[in-house]
Structure 1
């Protein structure tokens, strides 16, 4: 796991990439990295992720509380920390608000089925496109501890948990062992969701 300076640089670069792709408009989204000491570096609340600097990244504990007086983490920090608490291998978490994610999550039920895509290989345990997964969709909730409890209940009932989920009408969470893996997974899922959106536009 990285130290704070290395994590901050990775978060800034990720924010610029997600901004170029149109996945973190205005103040949307947040980005985090688990640090070597077990704490979490995460984007400060209210900032544009495409224009981050070092001051836009703060440290929080695994309970989501800021470690420096005056720092204000995102309201959704608890969802990042829930991922880190549940998955010791998780080293980076990305949360974005793309158009496909927002539209599809508003129109579908409790999951979206992704099947026969080459990029399914971005998910762990899938070595071929000849596979199908159900990516969970949770109803959004401003009560973050309550929402996290719903997510954890779903995780507890599944043998293999996909490293990602959608919030209805809101956005996507994807994680990986480090920032490169998290970015790769997010790009793969976004591509598949964009394809699903296009398919639904066909007559």
Structure 2
């Protein structure tokens, strides 16, 4: 994927996430690994509802703008998973609330929508999404999250939302969409159980 293609696609993701309430104001950040191996990422402080291709930069390109403050987490995922081409971070109220009210993992079991996650072809399974404590120190978050990644192409930061990834921007978007829906379903089930 070229930079122009990635910038256009990441801007579209940001606007779509904002429209769904998954990226209010300047929250969230998005990246893609380009065909030359470099990383395109959203700049720090860009409003996601008005995200444009010009709000995406290439790391280490001499661009004077600041990349997302959470760039290190994106890079950790790319190092750990060489086939990953995109990392997306959503900040929906539901997943933030779920992260604040759960233990050290969110286990999803028996849901048909699990099949939206790469490598899963049955509802008759379970997937654990690690939940790590929030910190302004991205190295701390990385140290806590990365060793706990299992089958879920995602982790959650408590009070801060989801990080999901895939072999394309579209696959990463599908991962986030499925997990945000599953988070809503989880909280609905908890309410019904009362």
In 1, distance between residues paired with 2:119 and 2:90? Answer: 24
Which residue matches 1:168?
A: 158
Structure 1 partner of 2:20? 21
**In structure 1, how many angstroms separate the alpha carbons of the residues matched to 2:49 and 2:27?**
10
For structure 2, the residue ranges without an aligned partner over 5 or more in a row are none
Q: Deviations over 1:61-85 (max 9, x none)?
A: xxxxx42241201110100111111
- Give the conservation status (yes or no) of the 8 Å contact 2:96–2:161: yes
State yes or no: 1:77 paired with 2:67.
no
2:91 alignment partner in structure 1:
97
Asked if 1 retains the 8 angstrom alpha-carbon contact of 2:128 and 2:151, the reply is: no
Please state how far the C-alpha of 1:161 moved relative to its aligned partner.
Answer: 3.8
Structure 1 residue 54: Cα displacement: 2.5
Partner of 1:201: 191
Deviation at 1:152, TM superposition (A): 2.6
Quote the Cα distance in structure 1 between the aligned partners of 2:170 and 2:65. Answer: 27
Instruction: Give the distance between the partners of 2:151 and 2:108, measured in 1 at CA.
Output: 15
For 1:74, what is the secondary structure of its paired residue? coil
C-alpha separation in 2, matches of 1:55 and 1:146? 31
Q: Distance in 2 between matches of 1:52 and 1:175?
A: 20
The whole-number CA distance in structure 2 between the counterparts of 1:188 and 1:6 is 24
Shift of 1:99: 1.2
Quote the residue 2:175 is aligned against: 185
Q: C-alpha root-mean-square deviation of aligned residues, in Å?
A: 1.2
Summarize deviations over 1:77-98 as a string: whole Å, max 9, x none: 1001111111011011110111
Give SS of 1:26's match: coil
Runs of 4+ in structure 1 deviating by more than 6 angstroms, as ranges, are none
Give the count of matched residue pairs. Answer: 193
Q: Partners in 2 of 1:161 and 1:145 — Cα distance?
A: 22
Output the TM-score relative to the length of structure 2.
0.95
Once the two structures are overlaid, the 10-residue window that deviates more, 122-131 or 91-100, is: 122-131
